[in-house]
Structure 1
Amino acid sequence: MEIEVKLRLLTAAAHLRLTTILAPFHLKTLHQRNLFFDTPRNDLSTRRAVLRLRFFQNGVTAASATDPPRCVVSLKAKPTLVNGISRVEEDEEEIDHGLAKECVDSPSKLSSLESRVLKRVREEFGLNDFLGFVCLGGFDNVRSVYEWRGVKLEVDETKYEFGNCYEIECETGEPERVKTMIEDLLRENDVEFSDSNMTKFAVFRSGKLP
């Protein structure tokens, strides 16, 4: 179970203000390409599950500029997002970057890819005898990561085809306490925010900004 605080930054100016404030605590910046897959019959979506390939491109900091490209496959299921606190069942695994790129070009190759996560998808969703996967599309995300007051903050600029969204996230086992800490930081620095009420995938599927 992944538990995260998720707060939406209401404007690009709020995002810039927050990243400026957090600059002394900056660890790295990640450039992510997120692509989503389902069956032609939407077997995963109808059961509140999401299959994602996340490609990590070279970052812009000294710590990440030399990192090789990576890809992680993840299965998320039964998400809830209430009062800015997200809970979702998640399983993820790093897979070969080159093979993952081939699956983007030919999604049917996901059916035979050697992967613990994809094996779970096939078995738990009864997909052993089906026509394969299709790519639903996706979006880019620039994630700035900070170590602040004992927690890791992730500040996102998500770039959809229909516009950009901004969000601050923090994975934690104490979501109520950490949410209060982050809210205090934002209010003290006049950073406009609200509770997130949609996941990034839900925003992508809706085709419009929240």
Structure 2
Amino acid sequence: MEIEIKIRLASEEHTATLEKALGGVSFSTEDQDNVFFDGVHKELIKNQLVFRIRLIEKSGKEPVAIVALKGNAVLVDGIAHVEEEEEAIDIELARRIIENPDLIPEAAKSHLLLKKIVDRVPCSEGYTHMGRFKNVRHKYRWQEYVVEIDRTLYPQGTAYEVEIESTDPEKAKARLTALLQEHNIPFGNSQRNKFENMLLGTLL
């Protein structure tokens, strides 16, 4: 179970102010290309499951690809709980699947998480794209946390979000919101996760 604080910021200006408060220099920057899949009859989403392939580029490193299966996501008062499994996948295979989702059943024969996805919810008439968005993630070390600042680019605009993964989310949220208040940065609880914003055309 992944537990994260998700706080929404209003603008690039407010996001830059927070980054300065965190020290100004991130220890990691990721350019993420997020592609979502489902059966042609939306079999996965009907079972509260989200299937994603993420392509990640980091400065000075070879690009990588990650398959993720998420389930039973709940987001209340800026705290998200979600069941999540991830597994690396050969990036060229990932790119071929993105170009042609019908390759998923064949690829599943040699990839454990893809096999689990295919077996868990059969999609007998094949797979299709659910949507796609890009995200730029900067990571900062602050107190005992890793703070992730996301600039997510949708067709409907850019969303600015701060995330902290923690086993004590109330404590982490209280510390983060105190920092935001100290630097006069307006904020609010994220109301939808990135997948929902993609599907619904929102920035909430």
Shorter-chain TM-score: which interval? over 0.9
TM-score norm. by structure 2 comes to 0.95
- How far, CA to CA, are the matches of 1:136 and 1:80 in structure 2? 20
In the alignment, is residue 120 of structure 1 matched against residue 119 of structure 2? no
- How far, CA to CA, are the matches of 2:40 and 2:25 in structure 1? 44
SS of match in other structure, 1:88? strand
**1:61 corresponding residue in structure 2:** none
**1:206 corresponding residue in structure 2:** 200
Q: Structure 1 residue 26: deviation in Å?
A: 2.1
**1:162 corresponding residue in structure 2:** 156
**1:6 corresponding residue in structure 2:** 6
Q: Structure 1 residue 202: deviation in Å?
A: 0.3
Moved over 4 A (4+): none
In the alignment, is residue 187 of structure 1 matched against residue 181 of structure 2? yes
SS of match in other structure, 1:26? coil
Which residues of 2 match residues 31-180 of structure 1 at below 5 A? 31-58=31-58, 65-113=59-107, 114-127=110-123, 130-180=124-174
- How far, CA to CA, are the matches of 1:5 and 1:32 in structure 2? 20
Gaps of 5+ in 2: none
- How far, CA to CA, are the matches of 2:115 and 2:180 in structure 1? 42
- How far, CA to CA, are the matches of 1:28 and 1:126 in structure 2? 38
Q: Root-mean-square deviation (CA), in Å?
A: 1.1
- How far, CA to CA, are the matches of 2:6 and 2:203 in structure 1? 16
SS of match in other structure, 1:198? coil
Residue identity over aligned pairs, in percent, reads 34
SS of match in other structure, 1:15? helix
Alpha carbons 1:141, 1:156 under 8 Å: kept: yes
Alpha carbons 2:134, 2:153 under 8 Å: kept: yes
TM-score norm. by structure 1 comes to 0.93
Gaps of 5+ in 1: 59-64
Alignment CA distance shift 1:161-1:105 (3 Å): same
- How far, CA to CA, are the matches of 1:147 and 1:40 in structure 2? 42
Alpha carbons 2:55, 2:64 under 8 Å: kept: yes
- For 1:175, the aligned partner's letter is P
- For 1:182, the aligned partner's letter is L
- Number of equivalenced pairs: 202
